[in-house]
Chains A and B, each alone.
Chain A
């Protein structure tokens, strides 16, 4: 072999582009296919909304005017937006499960992958929250799109102002993203066995907590505390499991290896 003869320029890059740049590249990697993270969820949500709108119109036109207030109250139990949170969970699972081995092939460290992914998920949570806050505000301003319909201001979103909606949506999206990330990290590292054991561990943890509360005869106190909590305070508590899931996912992925 004599091909080394013609040397044009050394290929080696001694310049190290810095951790932040790598983290941002990983975050960007998750947004490469815009359809997955923006177009598809928007389209499906629009579809669900259209069906809801049709149903609201049918109900609106078939009940006496006097009962319309009751109908609107009943509609607040709408779970139509639940899909978007499930989709959120799936995005997080895919972001780790499939993109992790892919990113390693690009020469990314696990640390940069984890940080970049967290950044990407927080970014998506922010964008989704803003989008839903906008439609929730329209829903309120138009008194349920003219039919007393409730989808984005359902009872599960205990908010009265736009910034409260923003807060609640963000908290929920973050919760779904990072619990998804947690289980995907477990799967990436220990496969199905790890997943089963983590479900088991979680179940034991919950039962043990309930048993402890019971043994301390603290149920009354707890309900009194939760009952006294303002709805937003209740939502704020979700940041505890979200943060635990995020930190745990980070630690788990730090030693994960790509499989098969």
Chain B
């Protein structure tokens, strides 16, 4: 595999705020990478650095082997759809879909038509008058139909309903299978996209805290459930991320398990389940010592 994006000690400061703090990572060609993190963690700024919309304070970015800054040959291969994308005041969706092909050599008009129907985007209404979800749909359609070798989606579906989001995931996967490309998707709807992601980068407070294959990340933690006494016996000698107890039953989130661990759990009558990516990232970005805000009555927890 070859990497198409290389960031080295990438840093962006806005006055006293360090939005991206010494980020070093690479993104492999033709993969779908999730850029996850809380609001204000630096996701948008990081994407703006990768697409040369912002200038780095220090560090370097290489996209397709060259700096993207004012590099027409590189930027032509990039489509960047962001939630906060502004459109010219007088534009209607049809103007967007008419002009996009001038900039994206791989634009597929038939695919765009199909997406317009899927998302029910009104073509002849001013974008200013569209609902939040319809504006998002316009961006999603451009991002998909442009078939840019590197496509960035920054929270692309604000205001899209569950049906439309599912349409987005389905179309993205279908089209990605047929026309492989590099997709970077930032979102906080982690569970919804977790099946899409091959690679996960988690940014928290400007720093990259996770840069891992989605599969190995999912294997990093396991939930065990069963009788409280058995759970307690099992976790006694292990690192525990989180436990919950309800009556005589308990669940615990613990680190990766080997074959022997699994066998031991089985003999104790414990059930094993993978931890959802969302749960794992919540644990990672809230700090392991911080208990979740809302604890249902009748449960106790250990950390």
* Smallest CB separation, B75 vs chain A (Å): 4
Contact residue among A12, A17, A105, A260 (Cβ-Cβ distance under 8 Å from B149)? A12
- Is A101 a contact partner of B75 (Cβ separation < 8 A)? no
Q: If the complex has contacts A13-B149, A33-B88, A258-B53, are A105 and B80 also in contact, measured as CB distance less than 8 A?
A: yes
Is the pair B149, A11 in contact by a Cβ cutoff of 8 Å? yes
Q: Does B259 contact A (CB under 8 A)?
A: no
Known: A1-B214, A29-B102. A107 touches B77 (CB 8 A): yes
- Complex CA gap A215/B97 in Å reads 59
Contacts known (A3-B176, A22-B76, A25-B102); A111 close to B88, Cβ less than 8 A: no
Interface residues of B in 196-226 (CB under 8 A from A): 196-198, 214-215
A-B contact pairs, 6 of them (CB 8 A): A1-B214, A28-B99, A106-B104, A109-B70, A111-B70, A257-B48
B178 near A6 with CB under 8 A, answer: yes
A217 at the interface (CB under 8 A from B): no
Binary B-proximity of A31-42 (CB < 8 A = 1, otherwise 0): 011011000000
Q: Is A94's CB within 8 Å of the partner chain B?
A: yes
- Whether B76 lies near A13 (C-beta < 8 A) is yes
A110 proximity list for chain B (CB < 8 A): 70
Please give, as numbers and ranges, the residues of chain B lying within 8 Å of A15 by CB-CB distance: 105
Q: Does A98 contact B (CB under 8 A)?
A: yes
The size of the chain A interface, using a CB distance under 8 A, is 43
A260 (CB) vs chain B CBs: closest residue: B84
* Residues in A neighbouring B89, C-beta threshold 8 A: 94, 98
Do B54 and A257 touch (CB < 8 A)?
yes
Is residue B255 within 8 Å, beta carbon to beta carbon, of the partner chain?
A: no
Nearest-CB distance from B168 to chain A (Å)? 15
Residues from 113 to 152 in A contacting B, C-beta threshold 8 Å: none
Q: Does A223 contact B (CB under 8 A)?
A: no
Nearest-neighbour CB distance to chain A for B80, whole angstroms, equals 5
Q: In the complex, A107 Cα to B103 Cα: how many Å?
A: 7
Q: Residues of B contacting A7 with CB < 8 Å?
A: 180
Contacting B197 at CB < 8 Å: which of A1, A22, A102?
A1
Cβ contact of B103, chosen from A36, A106, A255, cutoff 8 A: A106
A33 touches B91 (CB 8 A): yes
**Top-6 shortest CB links A-B:** A106-B103, A25-B102, A107-B75, A12-B149, A1-B198, A11-B181
B32 at the interface (CB under 8 A from A): yes
Q: Which residues of B contact A36 (CB under 8 A)?
A: 90
A8 beta carbon closer than 8 Å to chain B: yes
Residues of A within 8 A of B55 (CB): 255, 257
Q: Which residues of A contact B80 (CB under 8 A)?
A: 104-105, 107
Closest to B102 in A: A25
B102 neighbours in A (Cβ, 8 Å):
25, 28-29
Distance A9 CA – B147 CA, assembled complex (angstroms): 12
A residues within 8 A CB of B129? none
Contact of A109 among B72, B79, B91 (CB under 8 A): B72
The CA-CA distance from A17 to B74 in the complex, in Å, is 11
- Chain B residues with Cβ below 8 Å from A19 are 72
Q: In the complex, which residues of chain A have a beta carbon less than 8 angstroms from the beta carbon of B32?
A: 1
Contact partners of A6 in chain B: CB under 8 A? 177-178
Q: What per-residue 1/0 map shows which CB atoms of A86-106 lie under 8 Å from chain B?
A: 000000001000110110111
Per-residue contact bits, chain B 62-77, to A (CB 8 Å; 1 contact, 0 not): 0000000011110111
Q: Which one of A3, A10, A11, A107 lies within 8 Å of B76 (CB-CB)?
A: A107
B116 proximal to A (CB < 8 A): no
Residues in B with CB closer than 8 Å to A3 are 173, 176-177
B100 CB contacts on chain A under 8 angstroms: 106
B88 touches A99 (CB 8 A): yes
Query: B211 to chain A: closest CB distance in Å?
Result: 17
- Knowing that A22-B72, A104-B80, A107-B75 touch, tell me 19 more A-B residue pairs with CB under 8 angstroms: A1-B196, A1-B215, A3-B177, A11-B149, A11-B180, A13-B76, A13-B106, A16-B72, A94-B89, A94-B90, A98-B89, A101-B86, A102-B87, A107-B79, A107-B80, A108-B72, A108-B75, A109-B52, A254-B70
